[in-house]
Chains A and B, each alone.
Chain A
Amino acid sequence: MKKKSLLTFGSVLAFVLFVVPGIANTGSDTTPEFFFTRLIYGSGNGPARTPKVDIRCEDLAAGEGGTRYGGGWATDFPASDCKFMWGVERLTGIRVFDKAPHVVSALDPELSSYPYLYIVEPSRMYLTDEEAKSLREYLLRGGFVHIDDFWGLRQRAAVEEELSKIFPDRPPVKLDLKHEVFHTFFDVNQVMQIPNVSNGCNGGRTWESADETEPMIFGISDDNNRLMALITYNSDLGDAWEWMDNPCYPEMYSGQAYRMGINFIVYAMSH
């Protein structure tokens, strides 16, 4: 029964995302409320600057994925962002900006206007003290960040080191499935490992690093126990959003990735 529901959900989602992407819009003539904002970060060459991104989601080729801007912060960019936003817009009542991918750097004065951030492949991120301070202030004011797509102990250590620059006194804490973030829109009842597109299509192992293979979700909370940062370790939700329309990528992963992503957004907009 459960499998059947998931299949139905996946089919509907696939239809929505790929058959009718042209009619997916905010449905409103007012400014969008929600921007899925990707954090631009540097890799040790000083603070990152917000680049000019001249991409329109509607210009994506059918089934396009890949990386127009390379790795690091731009992994899966922009297809992952656009496709995920189309899904969010279609499935929720959130007025989403889905016309173009949206990016910002930690020192951008506009940062505080976008209370939701997405960081991909954080093991390549190197924050300057200034950037870490800016992100700390952003999160304490009520901002929210989803950190995704890093694998194994080495990358985990690197990410924890960067996060300790933001919050030296708040180490990430593993979340269990009772946490409200798993029940804000969908009831997510398992921590599923979301593989990258290669592993997903190959149908073999879903992990990327043998030294630690279990998927885990961590959180960093404020003094009132509200999540500020949500960390999907040993999973790649970005790839699942990006390759949803790839016939070889199993629906159970992409469906779960959409469910989790939407839950994170609704949580961020309500807590």
Chain B
Amino acid sequence: MNLFEFFFKYRPIVYQKGHLSFQLLGSSWLFIPLALVAVAVAFYFYQRVAREKLSPWMIVLRSAVFIILLFMVLQPVLNVSQVLPQDSYMAVVVDTSESMNIKDDGQTSRKDLMLKKIEETKFFQELSKKFKVRLFEFNQEARRIEATEEMRFNGDRTRMEAATDLLQQEMGTLPLTGVVLFGDGVDNASQEFMKSLNALERRPVPFYTVGVGTEAITRDAEVIRVAAPREMLKDSTAVVDVQFKSSGLVGTKAVIDVRENGTFTKTHDVTLPPDGQVGEVSIDVPVKNEGNQIFSFTIRVPEDRIAENNVLDSLVTVRDDHPKLLYVEGEPRWEYKYSRRAIADDPNLVMESLLRSSQNKFYRQGIQDQNTLEDGFPKKKEDLFAYSGILLGSIESTFFSPEQLQMMVDFVRERGGGFLMMGGKNSFSSGKYQNTSIADMLPVELLPDRALPVIDKVKLALTDYGRTHNLMRLSDNPATNSKIWGQLPPLEDFNRVGDAKPGGVVLARGEPENSGGDPILLAFQRYGRGRTMVFTTGSSWHWQMEMDHEDQTHELFWKQMLRWLVSASPAQVSITTDKDTYLPGELVNITADVSDKEFKRLNNARVTAKLSGPNGLSETLPMDWGGGQDGTYSTQVTAATKEGTYQLEVEAMQGTEKVGTYKAAFQIKDRPVEFYDASLDAGNLRSIASQTGGRYYPLDKIADIPEDAVYVDVANSFVEQKELWDIPILFMMLCALLAGEWVWRKRRGLA
């Protein structure tokens, strides 16, 4: 007997499930007027007491005594539904996935703790006194077993819906009083658990959930997420965000090892965060080899309890593409020369430029053939949209026709190209762009009146956002990165612009020597499908001329900026999957985007994806435009059980004309998911119990379940009346109240 039962005679669940009534009253509500009468009587008895000796508390205490006596006299009872012994079934389902082998304390596994407690409390024997017990185990699948000895605890997934499906199947027609669910609350494989549970719950079946394990495993570090770009240009640096968490290791130094296709490449030191918090680090990973590369990130910390959750992979498709940039410059100037030189040795960026060397004379550089740009800036969308990025130097807006200006806007918005406006005498409002459609897509407001560039020494200062953005990363060490930026020579000029637009992100501002303010130097925003960017100076060439010739800062800055500018620029036809790595059996969602040469989305193309993989797998998947987003085709496939890299090649046809092809890849790899995020998820178990009208029990309270589980309102329940007039707490209260009144009366000279 616990304390509650000592005072209240019955178990808490009786009060939780029962309904109060009085045997001498037709309705419980009648107790209220009777109680008021009791108060009135108490008041009447004290009416004759002299006013100076009377205290309202004496009336209150006596009223309470009368009310309790009234309550007892009226014969109160709790009406509680319960089942007859051995008249109904109780299902016991046990999670036998691998995670039950985890030793949360480093000593005893979850399964051993559970089995020991079951044995200590004679759980099944006690339960069998009340119910017909059926035992099940579940992990990836569920099955009926006869005894706990049959449990293997080797399932590599936990799929709760397997248990609920089986219960529905095997016990759907039996009088099922409840389900006792033992487990750690982790469900890592169910597709539609709620649907399965609701099917079972068409008749009320309370779940008595038992949490096994602890909510914080001591001494465990885990990689929980790796976010890497899906595609990269060859010879780039992928900035990969790795998230990790730990238990009982706050402040401990750990190491993240990076491997490319299994070959160790580098390490990165991290400090583990407090329990319950997620640590995150960005790691620069050079991608040099073309093709599908698998990068693994493994966290290492001494005495880690669970080694199985220390590694996650990411598949990056490295392309040897050559996106083309069109640079239009209105005058020969040093910024033109040095920005071109900065990317000259980048094999994956092609820059074609049109330099206006005098009023009507143009000098073309980097052109792929003699006809390119022969007539100046492209006049047809088809020609302009062949580029992935556009750079405008010091060239006034009136150089372009209104159609060409609009074409540049469409280039970003529809084609998904990148657009950069550089500072200069004829840039921004100095080039009278403020009243053009170009102004609408820039990440900053333009000044309303013409404003020539400010000639002043200005230091570039990274904003908080700039300090963390890939584009501004000159070193993967944040302190070194800040130092490099801080040591750059000052710029010599800048174009003043207005504020950043709501979607604009400012990466760098200026600290002018004399002209004041903190002008925006570098900002970007997404616009439609593409990106726009402003670099408001025309003097970054000083970074090249005023630093040692072997210093690569200027080159790196321009390469990163221009690669980033075109990195999101899509091809006419592209294909992607919703993740880069799948577990066997997972659903792979595949989408393809199809556009014509002017990047108008095509809904009437014939699109097929060819899936090829290990062991000579080759499958053709038709892709359909579902009537949703224009030009987007989709299909699904179930990830095979064979691990490896799977290649997708999409082909889009319109009539007999090929629109384009594109390749992508994903990886199928099994991993011990049971050991990821493996702490006891008591919240999930509480939620299941609450939704089904049951209760959650810690493992050391399972002895209560056989007693509690009988109080349930099901088809074969009967109602029992539990008398309340003699519960000890009422007598104790009476004694206390009478004693209190006597003491009060004594103090007032009435006793």
Query: Which chain A residues have a beta carbon within 8 Å of chain B's beta carbons?
Result: 28-31, 33-34, 91-95, 112-113, 115, 137-138, 140-143, 184-185, 224, 226, 265-266, 268-271
Bound CA span A268–B341, Å: 12
Which of B340, B357, B542 has most chain A Cβ within 10 Å?
A: B357
Q: B333, A269: Cβ atoms under 8 Å? A: yes
Bound CA span A143–B541, Å: 11
Bound CA span A31–B537, Å: 14
Q: B357, A185: Cβ atoms under 8 Å? A: yes
Known: A266-B332, A266-B363. A271 touches B337 (CB 8 A): yes
Q: A268, B357: Cβ atoms under 8 Å? A: no
Q: B340, A270: Cβ atoms under 8 Å? A: yes
Bound CA span A33–B424, Å: 10
A270 in complex: contacting residue of B332, B541, B548, CB < 8 Å: B332
Q: A269, B336: Cβ atoms under 8 Å? A: yes
Query: Which chain B residues have a beta carbon within 8 Å of chain A's beta carbons?
Result: 330-334, 336-338, 340-341, 344-345, 355-359, 361, 363, 365, 425, 452-453, 455, 492-493, 541-542, 544-549
Give the shortest distance, in Å, between B456 (CB) and chain A (any CB): 10
Q: B545, A270: Cβ atoms under 8 Å? A: no
Bound CA span A265–B355, Å: 14
Q: A31, B493: Cβ atoms under 8 Å? A: yes
Q: A142, B493: Cβ atoms under 8 Å? A: no
Q: B546, A92: Cβ atoms under 8 Å? A: no
Give the shortest distance, in Å, between A197 (CB) and chain B (any CB): 28
Q: Specify the chain B residue showing the minimal Cβ separation from A143.
A: B545
Given contacts A33-B333, A113-B546, A115-B541, 14 further A-B contacts (CB under 8 A): A30-B452, A31-B493, A33-B334, A92-B332, A92-B358, A93-B330, A94-B332, A94-B357, A112-B546, A115-B337, A142-B541, A269-B332, A269-B334, A269-B336
Known: A30-B455, A31-B493. A112 touches B545 (CB 8 A): yes
Q: Specify the chain B residue showing the minimal Cβ separation from A224.
A: B344
Q: Specify the chain B residue showing the minimal Cβ separation from A26.
A: B425
Residues of A within 8 A of B493 (CB): 30-31
Known: A92-B357, A115-B545. A142 touches B338 (CB 8 A): yes
Q: A266, B337: Cβ atoms under 8 Å? A: no
Q: B361, A185: Cβ atoms under 8 Å? A: yes
Residues of B within 8 A of A138 (CB): 545
Give the shortest distance, in Å, between A29 (CB) and chain B (any CB): 6
Residues of B within 8 A of A28 (CB): 425
Bound CA span A94–B546, Å: 23
Bound CA span A44–B336, Å: 38
Known: A269-B332, A270-B337. A142 touches B545 (CB 8 A): yes
Give the shortest distance, in Å, between B82 (CB) and chain A (any CB): 90
Give the shortest distance, in Å, between B616 (CB) and chain A (any CB): 46
Residues of B within 8 A of A265 (CB): 332
Known: A30-B452, A266-B363, A270-B365. A95 touches B331 (CB 8 A): yes
A91 in complex: contacting residue of B358, B452, B548, CB < 8 Å: B358
Residues of A within 8 A of B363 (CB): 184-185, 266, 270
Which of B452, B453, B541, B549 has most chain A Cβ within 10 Å?
A: B549
Bound CA span A28–B365, Å: 26
6 cross-chain CB contacts under 8 A: A93-B331, A93-B361, A137-B548, A142-B337, A269-B333, A270-B336
The 4 closest A-B pairs by CB, nearest first: A140-B549, A269-B332, A112-B545, A141-B549
Q: B542, A113: Cβ atoms under 8 Å? A: yes
Q: Specify the chain B residue showing the minimal Cβ separation from A139.
A: B549
Residues of A within 8 A of B341 (CB): 142, 226, 271
Interface contact tally, CB-CB below 8 A:
90
Q: A93, B332: Cβ atoms under 8 Å? A: yes
Bound CA span A113–B492, Å: 10
Residues of B within 8 A of A30 (CB): 425, 452-453, 455, 493
Residues of B within 8 A of A31 (CB): 455, 492-493
Residues of B within 8 A of A137 (CB): 548-549
Q: Specify the chain B residue showing the minimal Cβ separation from A29.
A: B452
Which of B332, B345, B547 has most chain A Cβ within 10 Å?
A: B332
Give the shortest distance, in Å, between B399 (CB) and chain A (any CB): 12
Q: Specify the chain B residue showing the minimal Cβ separation from A140.
A: B549
B358 in complex: contacting residue of A33, A93, A112, A113, CB < 8 Å: A93
Known: A137-B548, A141-B544, A270-B336. A224 touches B359 (CB 8 A): no
Bound CA span A94–B544, Å: 21
B334 in complex: contacting residue of A115, A140, A184, CB < 8 Å: A115
Residues of B within 8 A of A270 (CB): 332, 336-337, 340, 355, 363, 365
Q: Specify the chain A residue showing the minimal Cβ separation from B365.
A: A270
Q: Specify the chain B residue showing the minimal Cβ separation from A95.
A: B331
Residues of A within 8 A of B345 (CB): 224
Which of A34, A94, A95, A269 has most chain B Cβ within 10 Å?
A: A269
B359 in complex: contacting residue of A93, A143, A226, CB < 8 Å: A93
Known: A29-B452, A33-B333, A270-B337. A93 touches B545 (CB 8 A): no
Residues of A within 8 A of B547 (CB): 141
Q: Specify the chain A residue showing the minimal Cβ separation from B333.
A: A33
Bound CA span A33–B549, Å: 22
Give the shortest distance, in Å, between A51 (CB) and chain B (any CB): 23
Bound CA span A91–B360, Å: 11
Bound CA span A18–B181, Å: 101
Bound CA span A112–B548, Å: 11
Residues of B within 8 A of A142 (CB): 337-338, 341, 541, 544-545, 549
Bound CA span A157–B544, Å: 33
Give the shortest distance, in Å, between B438 (CB) and chain A (any CB): 21
Bound CA span A91–B358, Å: 7
Residues of A within 8 A of B365 (CB): 270
Residues of A within 8 A of B361 (CB): 93, 185
Bound CA span A91–B361, Å: 10
Which of A28, A33, A95, A185 has most chain B Cβ within 10 Å?
A: A33
Bound CA span A155–B455, Å: 43
Residues of B within 8 A of A113 (CB): 542, 545-546
Known: A33-B334, A185-B363. A266 touches B544 (CB 8 A): no
Give the shortest distance, in Å, between A33 (CB) and chain B (any CB): 5
Residues of B within 8 A of A185 (CB): 357-358, 361, 363
Bound CA span A270–B545, Å: 15
Bound CA span A65–B359, Å: 30
Q: Specify the chain A residue showing the minimal Cβ separation from B329.
A: A270
Q: Specify the chain B residue showing the minimal Cβ separation from A223.
A: B345
Bound CA span A33–B423, Å: 13
Residues of A within 8 A of B358 (CB): 91-93, 185
Residues of A within 8 A of B333 (CB): 33, 94-95, 269
Which of A30, A92, A115, A268 has most chain B Cβ within 10 Å?
A: A30
Residues of A within 8 A of B542 (CB): 112-113
Residues of A within 8 A of B453 (CB): 30
Bound CA span A266–B425, Å: 18
Residues of A within 8 A of B330 (CB): 93
Give the shortest distance, in Å, between B554 (CB) and chain A (any CB): 9
Give the shortest distance, in Å, between B488 (CB) and chain A (any CB): 14
Q: Specify the chain B residue showing the minimal Cβ separation from A185.
A: B357
Q: B356, A93: Cβ atoms under 8 Å? A: yes
Give the shortest distance, in Å, between B424 (CB) and chain A (any CB): 9
Bound CA span A141–B489, Å: 14
Q: Specify the chain A residue showing the minimal Cβ separation from B455.
A: A31
Bound CA span A266–B357, Å: 8
Residues of A within 8 A of B359 (CB): 93
Q: Specify the chain B residue showing the minimal Cβ separation from A91.
A: B358
Residues of A within 8 A of B356 (CB): 93
Bound CA span A185–B359, Å: 12
Residues of B within 8 A of A95 (CB): 331, 333, 425
Give the shortest distance, in Å, between B429 (CB) and chain A (any CB): 14
Q: Specify the chain B residue showing the minimal Cβ separation from A112.
A: B545
Residues of A within 8 A of B455 (CB): 30-31
Q: Specify the chain A residue showing the minimal Cβ separation from B453.
A: A30
Give the shortest distance, in Å, between A114 (CB) and chain B (any CB): 9
Give the shortest distance, in Å, between A178 (CB) and chain B (any CB): 15
Bound CA span A184–B337, Å: 13
Give the shortest distance, in Å, between B685 (CB) and chain A (any CB): 66
